[in-house]
Chain A
Amino acid sequence: MTTTTIVKAPSTTPAPSATAARSGGVATGTKIRVHALRYNPQEPGSVPRMQTYELEQSEGMTLFIALNEIRETQDPTLQFDFVCRAGICGSCAMMVNGRPTLACRTLTRDVGPDITLAPLPVFELIGDLSVNTGKWMRGTSERLQAWLHGDAKARDINRLEERMEPELAEQLNELDRCVECGCCVASCGTARMRPDFVGAVGMAKIARFRLDPRDKRTDDDYYELVGTDDGVFGCMSLLACHDVCPKDLPLQTQIAFLRRKMAGKGWA
């Protein structure tokens, strides 16, 4: 927060072609500036600060490509997470210009030429842009018992699985697309104020198992998990989760559904 360092790209990068096409907000070949939050909580005396890196916009450049280029050519100490680079693993979520999203699916031309990057809030900060979403997600899954609670017979692997309507299977698949990137939690004003709030990811998981006929839990059981002010009743319907979800999950619908079901237990 205190100092800003500007690191220039090495001059080995080729000059922009005269035919550089303007394919989005930022033309190929022009300079972009990545302002990254630098902070290492493990290092005594480390103070959060912004550091600026300049590089050249290339065709189809994503933040994944940009950050790797910065690490390879300018600053090997910059910490960030990537695994799949295809929006599947959910590792690369970060705050891009103030909003959480997956860096690998963000084209620099759409968010540049000045791109501000920060780590996701709420989650444990590892360093710079890297956060431990896994720890939070595991804790939430354990707290919400977010796994299928079937009957004992279902554990017989030689037995045929119960049939399910294709429409229902599709609904379940839709909710299973969640990659636990943490964007919904980082975008949530309630989660920012109240660290124990389960967040949209937690509620969507419960909604998913409630839909699943193989899960034998009742609404009374689910109420035990999310029927609190840290659960579904804590949600203030700000809906940033729905708006930022990189997988476009129907979070608004699922949270409203769960709220109706859990509120129905109020006098039951």
Chain B
Amino acid sequence: MASTSPTIAGVGLADRPRASRVPARLDLLQSFTGGVLALFMWGHMFFVSTILVSKDFMWTVTRMFEGYFIFGKPYPGIVSVIVFGILVMFVAHAFLAVRKLPINFRQWQMYRGHMKVMKHEDTTLWWVQAITGFMLFFLVTVHLYQMLMHPGLIGPYESADRVWSGRWWPLYLVMLFAVELHGGIGLYRLAVKWGWFERGDADATRSALKKAKWALTVFFLALGLATLGAYMKIGYEHADRAGERYVPASVQQGAVK
């Protein structure tokens, strides 16, 4: 491929005599980026849901990611680096996955008509995945840009103020459903696509995977809604002092001493 001239590639003969390996790489990368992002979202949900335990616990987890317990002071830039990595992964995944979406009215019409008469769960779930994936192009980009530029504004009050006084909660609410549906279906599809966990009986494995998929989706949606509700409540109560940073009592006492 490397030796192919632009002229040969330009007239569509670059694949002679050896088919391009790019489709294989794109397929692997699509699965890899999707898998990493879906697993990251599980971790992300656990981190943000620490607010349900206590403000101090959420503060501790946040500072941990900023290297506070290693360097003695927070470096929010570390968060920006992680966010940038996720952003790169996200853009790559979007770029790869968009190849699968219907790209014209004919394809849209074919799939919709097919889905309606077939009434086949996995066929319908793909449509849900396609719609939520399209929504995430926009929702995630906005969220990641905010996190990239203001990595230090994560914390019990900082996040709650953003959610409530900053009016981010509608975006987070829509994004929660889009992410959990998209990621859950995506992980299930990865498993059946590559034949993971298949031990002799593919049908039994798939049935178990489907049940696990729904159980995880419900669990993370419940956890996400509870978490968002908690931030909204804290933000509402803290609205008149929006912008004030959260400092745990233990740290305040330490500073006085």
Listed in ascending order, the chain A residues whose CB lies under 8 Å from chain B are 95, 98-99, 121, 187, 189, 192-194, 220, 223-224, 227-229, 231, 233, 235-240, 242-243, 250, 252-253, 256-257, 259-260, 262-268
Contacts and interface: CB of A to CB of B under 8 A. Distances in A.
B123 interface: yes
Nearest to B114: A192
B186 to A, nearest CB: 11
Contacts of B100: 236
A240 B24 contact: no
Interface of B: 18-19, 21, 23-28, 99-100, 102, 107, 110-111, 114-120, 122-123, 126, 189, 192-195, 198, 202-203, 206
Given A193-B111, A252-B195, A267-B21, 17 more contacts: A189-B114, A192-B110, A223-B24, A237-B192, A239-B206, A240-B120, A242-B202, A252-B206, A253-B202, A256-B192, A259-B27, A259-B195, A260-B195, A265-B24, A266-B24, A267-B25, A268-B21
A253 B192 CA distance: 8
Contact of B194 (A242, A243, A260): A260
B120 A243 contact: yes
A29 B21 CA distance: 61
24 contacts: A98-B117, A99-B120, A187-B120, A192-B110, A192-B111, A193-B102, A220-B18, A223-B19, A224-B19, A229-B99, A233-B27, A236-B100, A236-B126, A237-B122, A237-B193, A238-B123, A240-B118, A242-B202, A243-B120, A250-B202, A256-B194, A256-B198, A267-B21, A268-B21
A240 B122 contact: yes
Nearest to A118: B117
Contacts of B195: 252-253, 256-257, 259-260
Contacts of B206: 239, 252
Nearest to A239: B122
B113 to A, nearest CB: 8
Contacts of A236: 100, 126, 189
A267 B116 CA distance: 40
Contacts of B120: 99, 187, 238, 240, 243
Contacts of B192: 237, 239, 252, 256
A233 B26 CA distance: 9
Nearest to A266: B24
B23 A227 contact: yes
A99 B100 CA distance: 23
A265 B20 CA distance: 10
B142 to A, nearest CB: 28
B115 A259 contact: no
A259 B23 CA distance: 11
B108 to A, nearest CB: 9
Nearest to B31: A263
Nearest to B100: A236
A84 to B, nearest CB: 26
Contacts of B99: 229
B24 A238 contact: no
B240 to A, nearest CB: 51
Instruction: List 3 tightest A-B contacts by C-beta distance, closest first.
Output: A256-B195, A266-B24, A98-B117
A189 B111 contact: yes
B24 A262 contact: yes
Contacts of A240: 118, 120, 122-123
A242 B201 CA distance: 13
Nearest to A232: B27
A95 B28 CA distance: 34
A187 B100 CA distance: 17
B23, B107, B193 — which one has the most chain A CB atoms within 10 A of its CB? B23
Nearest to B193: A237
A220 B19 CA distance: 9
Contact of A263 (B18, B27, B126, B202): B27
Contacts of B189: 236-237
Contacts of B25: 266-267
Contacts of A192: 110-111, 114
Nearest to A195: B110
Contacts of B117: 95, 98-99
A92 B235 CA distance: 64
B182 to A, nearest CB: 14
A238, A252, A262 — which one has the most chain B CB atoms within 10 A of its CB? A238
